[in-house]
Amino acid sequence: MIEMVIEARKKDLGGFEVGRILPFHARRMVGPFIFLDHMGPAEFAPGAEGVNVRPHPHIGLSTLTYLFEGEIKHRDNLGYTQPIRPGEVNWMTAGKGIVHSERTDPLKRSTGGPMHGMQAWIALPDDLEETDPAFHHHGEDDQPTYDNGGLYARLVAGEAYGAKAAVPISSPLFYVHWELAEGVRTAPPPGKGAGGMSERAFYVVKGEIEVGDRTFGEGQLVVLEPTAEPTIKAIRPSTVMVLGGEPVGQRLIWWNFVASSQARLDQAKADWKAGRMTLPKDDDAEFIPLPETPSISETGTPAKPGPTHPV
């Protein structure tokens, strides 16, 4: 029933902690999900820096930012400036190249407050790796929800349970946020044997759940076997993210770049180093230089310690 369990690896980003979940040396992707981070939870003191990710580039992927608490302001070189708040979705498609920053608004820094959320990268299929970059924001009310008997669910992206989210995905996938009361039983979307997705997993954000005779808690990603149809029971109130989809093929990762070929990664490195990728016009006073040793290597495994991986 359970193929693998992956423990989030904690990384201190100076003021708050991030749990790196994917990629993992023994499991690089789940469907098209090639990167998954759990941000926080953290409580920023008044005047603290908060989130302060300088402009940086991406290729070959879509990023998905989803918050439980707090706020982050997104800026990109397409001209979009957009705060993201709990329950909302920022979906940014890098394609052939995009540059963005993610920061705490100065007013929010002055008052402090919580930060807690998830960030995912979704690898683009071969025929869309070089698509034009794009940005989409969807408010809390744009996403299908279900609330009954102690189970609250929001479909963040993709299709599941007969519903479809507003996010313009590029390949078959689902991404669901569950809030489970103690004792509630539920199930993930069906697997391969039942006509569903080939690859599925769930991540315990907080709380504790039971699958069969095993229990799982905060910071654990549980990868399911393709044909498994488990029942999940909340042992205590729990927040769980459920994700899956169809594989898009082998992908290489170097720093913020995802590609199906080494040549494309090398071109992206050269473009960023030479300044051929423009900065956001309202956030162009600084940027993250191309690192000599990225924190994600070409094989998708953690590399030697180096610059903190921006998101």
20-49: pLDDT as tens digits? 999 999 999 999 999 999 999 999 999 998
Please answer whether residues 91 and 66 qualify as being in contact, where contact means their C-beta atoms are separated by less than 8 angstroms.
Answer: no
State the average pLDDT for the chain. Answer: 93
Q: In the numeric block, which tokens belong to residue 239?
A: 């927040």
Per-residue confidence (pLDDT) for residue 14, from 0 to 100: 65
Q: In the numeric block, which tokens belong to residue 268?
A: 């992206």
Could you give the CA distance from residue 77 to residue 134 in angstroms, rounded to a whole number? 10
Per-residue confidence (pLDDT) for residue 300, from 0 to 100: 37
Could you give the CA distance from residue 211 to residue 234 in angstroms, rounded to a whole number? 9
* For residues 62-86, average pLDDT: 97
How far out from the chain centre does Cα 96 lie? 19
309 pLDDT band, cuts 50/70/90, is: very low
Kindly tell me the number of DSSP H helices and DSSP E strands found in the chain. 2, 23
Residue 290 is classified by DSSP as P
**249 CB neighbour count, 10 Å cutoff:** 10
Check whether 104 has a pLDDT greater than 90: yes
Per-residue confidence (pLDDT) for residue 295, from 0 to 100: 62
Give the contacts of 92 (CB within 8 A, at least 6 positions apart): 58, 62, 63, 74, 76, 98, 100, 133, 134, 135, 136
Check whether 305 has a pLDDT greater than 60: no
Per-residue confidence (pLDDT) for residue 12, from 0 to 100: 82
* For residues 272-284, average pLDDT: 97
HSE-up of residue 219 (Cα within 13 Å, Cβ side): 11
* For residues 226-241, average pLDDT: 97
Could you give the CA distance from residue 64 to residue 93 in angstroms, rounded to a whole number? 9
Per-residue confidence (pLDDT) for residue 107, from 0 to 100: 87
Check whether 293 has a pLDDT greater than 80: no
297 pLDDT band, cuts 50/70/90, is: very low
294 pLDDT band, cuts 50/70/90, is: confident
Per-residue confidence (pLDDT) for residue 304, from 0 to 100: 30
Per-residue confidence (pLDDT) for residue 13, from 0 to 100: 73
